[in-house]
Chains A and B, each alone.
Chain A
């Protein structure tokens, strides 16, 4: 009997490829679903685990290409942690280069892109990028901007534990309610997920954006190495500390397999030996592990879930190799623990599965939540919540604002994220300035502001002056850069019409530069009217219009020329504008207002 070949209905449809990128604190992983398999991208050293490390020398050296023995003191490690503090704050690197976490990470993403191209012999731009679930909006959009600037078309940001659960749900066919316990190098996330057929629903998420395996290493350095040798941390040079932290990490890893051993180290040029005992290590780490367990218990409480409704724990992140974690979780919760997928690769694995489904369609539905409440600052320096944490995303909320002084023509609103009552204890996302209101008695103007968190957890704000119907220019201003929305448009338009051989990366750079300049000109409209001659004003707007048109096309040379022209003509009064702008901000009529 011959087999009848039944043709699948969609067989001829072309499959779109999508990279799943896990940009980790310690290591990063890229993968892609091809046919029915997930393949992991290897670098030129045939490794899939890429150290998230960069060395800025004459050239930029990244990941496994770095000779760590020789260069450890000059390397940038754990850059992801800096996104929590401020993604745009310049850091001074070893060779006096000044770069922000966004700019440094852009170089890392460029490397990942090149590595993928070398391995697949094909240039891939589409990707799904993972972020710690407990990252706030500022850190999320910062990472997204880095990837966009490197020419990645980020189709979706998903949370790391959610990605891991997706892999377990699809590839391991897990069904039920699970706590995903994700301990990476720099962050701790825990999420409660419901996995059903075709449904992956995050019920709630919690964590600590500043607790990870790095902190374990640090504790071992301080509580074991330095204490035993009676050396003070401040007496050790920074370079030496970096090396010692790596040694502490090795001690942590070895203690998981070996009960007693001796480790030799070099401190301040002297060779030292210490005896390591795995019980002692557990004792040192206990406090941090307990912290993650109490965060886990709180999450259950917040979700009003009972532990007996939970089917088990899914362990994610390289740091969960510390056996004390499994032991403590079992003691406290008495639940099954799942770790059959490699904790270092599972996040990227899930991201590539999701990316494949996004681009090629699927019956599966993945629903996630926002980890932190979004709110605004009220009169007394308190935060008023507008979108509570653990709300399903996307979500849209509206609020009406008014003035509190007669004749006031603008309103300033600080947008915050976090759970604390006092606004300054939360993350400041930016400020929204509603300007050009008609002068009216206090309390009369009505500006309706719409806060929307999209499916990536990225915030968009729009405002309408209800009395005039005018749409307000209300992009959240942190005063730094283009918004994710603007960058996304640039990347999409550059990739869309790109010729095979075109250098999309430098095209994107040119477009970003041009868009920044156009924004500056638009923001300075009033000053330009006041400070420039009629002829110059006309020229400025002519060039701006031409530039706006060019941005829709992909002619890099033309864009660069127009940018140069515009720079030239605006240079003469740029300084005046800066000064004047500054005065405007200090001016009295912008005031924090109580919303109605």
Chain B
């Protein structure tokens, strides 16, 4: 709810409630670009995903194209674009690695995104390779469950550490951890 913006349609400065111009009732675009801002969420690494889903659904119930079946084509276009924007932003925030990127960007930390530079730390490389070979040699469902839980715990503690680093603004450390995080996430996903 941001009062006093200019409506794209009636061109009046008007109050906007639930993204609707209070003068002409036309739907208004979402101004925010940062996924955190789109969902009006505090910029922390660890999120309450239930809260996030609530907000996501609330926005989709305003913008989803199903709500504009009888609307004019301008509003239809806005609905598709904004609904897609909400979906994209939600996907970004639901993904650990993407979310961290957005946070680091927000704090102006320059990230090197070349995957090749990933393994500055030989210990990490070894650790990941160990884990990978462990996953390759799984034979029983029990074993798989055990490794799954192990990875889950590791991811959990990484998340806490990243959260702490972001709070203390030691961004380079957070980025280093994100490399490990992305590998763990990948292993977890491949573990079927």
Interface positions of A (Cβ within 8 A of B): 155-156, 198-199, 301, 304, 357-359, 361, 363, 365-367, 391-396, 452, 454-455
Q: Is B66 an interface residue (CB 8 A)?
A: yes
B66 touches A358 (CB 8 A): yes
Given contacts A156-B66, A392-B87, A392-B90, contact A455 B57 (CB under 8 A): no
Q: How far is the CB of B9 from chain A (nearest CB, A)?
A: 21
A199 touches B66 (CB 8 A): no
Kindly count the residue-residue contacts between A and B in the assembled complex, taking CB atoms under 8 Å apart.
Answer: 50
Q: Please name the 10 residue pairs, one residue from A and one from B, whose CB atoms are nearest each other, closest first.
A: A396-B84, A455-B65, A392-B87, A358-B69, A394-B84, A365-B61, A394-B80, A301-B192, A395-B84, A394-B83
B69 touches A156 (CB 8 A): yes
Q: Which residue of B lies closest to A388 (CB)?
A: B91
B69 touches A395 (CB 8 A): no
Contact residues of B between 82 and 131, Cβ < 8 Å to A? 83-85, 87-88, 90-91
| Residue from the list B57, B61, B65, B69 in contact with A394, Cβ < 8 A | B65
Number of interface residues of B (CB under 8 A): 20
When distances are taken between beta carbons in the complex, the residues of chain B under 8 Å from A357 are: 66
B60 touches A454 (CB 8 A): no
A199 touches B57 (CB 8 A): yes
Q: How far is the CB of A449 from chain B (nearest CB, A)?
A: 15
Q: Is B158 an interface residue (CB 8 A)?
A: no
Q: Is B70 an interface residue (CB 8 A)?
A: yes
A366 touches B83 (CB 8 A): no
When distances are taken between beta carbons in the complex, the residues of chain A under 8 Å from B61 are: 198, 363, 365
B81 touches A396 (CB 8 A): yes
Q: Is B180 an interface residue (CB 8 A)?
A: no
When distances are taken between beta carbons in the complex, the residues of chain A under 8 Å from B87 are: 391-395
A357 to B67 alpha-carbon distance, docked (Å): 9
Dominant SS among interface residues on chain B: helix
Q: Which of B69, B85, B87, B90 has the most CB of A within 10 A?
A: B69
* A-B residue pairs in contact (CB < 8 Å), sample of 19: A156-B66, A357-B66, A358-B66, A358-B69, A361-B67, A365-B61, A366-B66, A367-B64, A391-B87, A392-B90, A394-B65, A394-B80, A395-B84, A396-B81, A396-B85, A452-B80, A452-B84, A455-B65, A455-B83
Q: Which of A301, A304, A394, A454 has the most CB of B within 10 A?
A: A394
Q: Which residue of B lies closest to A361 (CB)?
A: B67
A365 touches B84 (CB 8 A): no
Q: Which residue of B lies closest to A489 (CB)?
A: B73
B66 touches A454 (CB 8 A): no
A301 to B61 alpha-carbon distance, docked (Å): 29
When distances are taken between beta carbons in the complex, the residues of chain A under 8 Å from B66 are: 156, 357-358, 365-366, 455
When distances are taken between beta carbons in the complex, the residues of chain B under 8 Å from A393 are: 87
When distances are taken between beta carbons in the complex, the residues of chain A under 8 Å from B84 are: 394-396, 452
A361 to B71 alpha-carbon distance, docked (Å): 12
A357 to B90 alpha-carbon distance, docked (Å): 25
| Residue from the list B70, B81, B83 in contact with A359, Cβ < 8 A | B70
A391 touches B80 (CB 8 A): no
A365 touches B60 (CB 8 A): yes
When distances are taken between beta carbons in the complex, the residues of chain B under 8 Å from A395 are: 84, 87-88
A367 to B64 alpha-carbon distance, docked (Å): 9
Q: Which residue of B lies closest to A365 (CB)?
A: B61
Given contacts A199-B57, A301-B192, contact A454 B81 (CB under 8 A): no
When distances are taken between beta carbons in the complex, the residues of chain B under 8 Å from A199 are: 57
When distances are taken between beta carbons in the complex, the residues of chain B under 8 Å from A198 are: 61
When distances are taken between beta carbons in the complex, the residues of chain A under 8 Å from B85 are: 396
